[in-house]
Chains A and B, each alone.
Chain A
Amino acid sequence: EVQLVQSGAEVKKPGESLRISCKGTGYSFSSYWISWVRQMPGKGLEWMGRIDPSESNSNYSPPFEGHVTISADKSTSTASLQWSRLEASDTAIYYCVRHARDCSGVRCDSIWYYDLWGRGTLVTVSS
């Protein structure tokens, strides 16, 4: 089955580090970009950043640059989102999402909407 399987909920204290993961199954993981999207309690969706698993190059939304790190391991078909120092404001659900692709041309191009979503990982940061 084509899916993104995310790691389980986490409860952390401010200042602690954390890595959450997202494993792609049922498709060629390296062929599709992965982004992370944040949903704070009762709020909307925010794009955080994306990675190309085939080359491990990444881009970040300015509010998140320097605060999180996105990585990918194509050998295990797993993308990760990590923090070195959590803050209470990091409390949210984090979704990994797969970018759609347009293969109508001579090669496939990644598109910036998301055709596959993980179930989300709830991160709670509280002292």
Chain B
Amino acid sequence: EIVMTQSPATLSVSPGERATLSCRASHSVNSNLAWYQQKPGQAPRLFIYGASTRATGIPARFSGSGSGTEFTLTISSLQSEDIGLYYCQQYYNWPTFGQGTKVEIK
């Protein structure tokens, strides 16, 4: 099983500032990495796939980067509607998720 580790657990960012979320895989997953956002009481929503491709309807302020074992999700200018939990998921092997990073407004 490929273990996904996300950091930090909680990220507090002021509106308009940059938010950087990290995801590390225990083994290389190439670019088979997706990011999801989950708001309280809602199902997760696909944000990024292929490590860097935004899903339909996702604003350009969200960008993904990385390959192999190190990945980053960047929110260039945090908006209030961006708060929530963000999960990374590898799909190189049987799918596994990270434990999530909670993004909140400072």
Name A residues whose Cβ lies closer than 8 Å to a Cβ of B. Answer: 35, 44-47, 61, 95, 100, 111-115, 117-120
Q: Determine if A47 and B97 form an interchain contact, defined as CB atoms under 8 angstroms apart.
A: yes
Q: How far is the CA of A114 from the CA of B44 in the complex (A)?
A: 10
Using a CB-CB cutoff of 8 Å, which residues 5-48 of chain B contact chain A? Answer: 32, 34, 36, 42-46
* Across-interface contacts of B42 in A (CB, < 8 A): 119
Q: How far is the CA of A100 from the CA of B48 in the complex (A)?
A: 12
* Across-interface contacts of A35 in B (CB, < 8 A): 95
Q: How far is the CA of A44 from the CA of B44 in the complex (A)?
A: 11
Q: Determine if B43 and A113 form an interchain contact, defined as CB atoms under 8 angstroms apart.
A: no
Q: Chain A binding site: helix, strand, loop or mixed by DSSP? A: strand
Contact with A along B61-103 (1 / 0, CB 8 A): 0000000000000000000000000010101001111111000
Q: Chain B binding site: helix, strand, loop or mixed by DSSP? A: loop
Q: How far is the CA of A120 from the CA of B46 in the complex (A)?
A: 15
Q: Determine if B97 and A46 form an interchain contact, defined as CB atoms under 8 angstroms apart.
A: yes
CB of B93 to closest CB in A, whole Å: 9
Q: Determine if B49 and A113 form an interchain contact, defined as CB atoms under 8 angstroms apart.
A: yes
Size band of the interface chain B makes with A: 20 to 34
Q: Determine if B91 and A111 form an interchain contact, defined as CB atoms under 8 angstroms apart.
A: yes
Q: Determine if B98 and A47 form an interchain contact, defined as CB atoms under 8 angstroms apart.
A: no
Q: Determine if B45 and A45 form an interchain contact, defined as CB atoms under 8 angstroms apart.
A: no
Q: How far is the CA of A35 from the CA of B95 in the complex (A)?
A: 11
CB of B96 to closest CB in A, whole Å: 7
Residue of B with least CB distance to A113: B34
* Across-interface contacts of B100 in A (CB, < 8 A): 44
CB of B97 to closest CB in A, whole Å: 4
* Across-interface contacts of B105 in A (CB, < 8 A): none
Q: Determine if A119 and B43 form an interchain contact, defined as CB atoms under 8 angstroms apart.
A: yes
Q: How far is the CA of A119 from the CA of B41 in the complex (A)?
A: 9
Q: Determine if B45 and A117 form an interchain contact, defined as CB atoms under 8 angstroms apart.
A: yes
Q: Determine if A61 and B43 form an interchain contact, defined as CB atoms under 8 angstroms apart.
A: no
CB of B32 to closest CB in A, whole Å: 8
Chain B CB within 10 A, most for which of A35, A100, A112, A113: A113
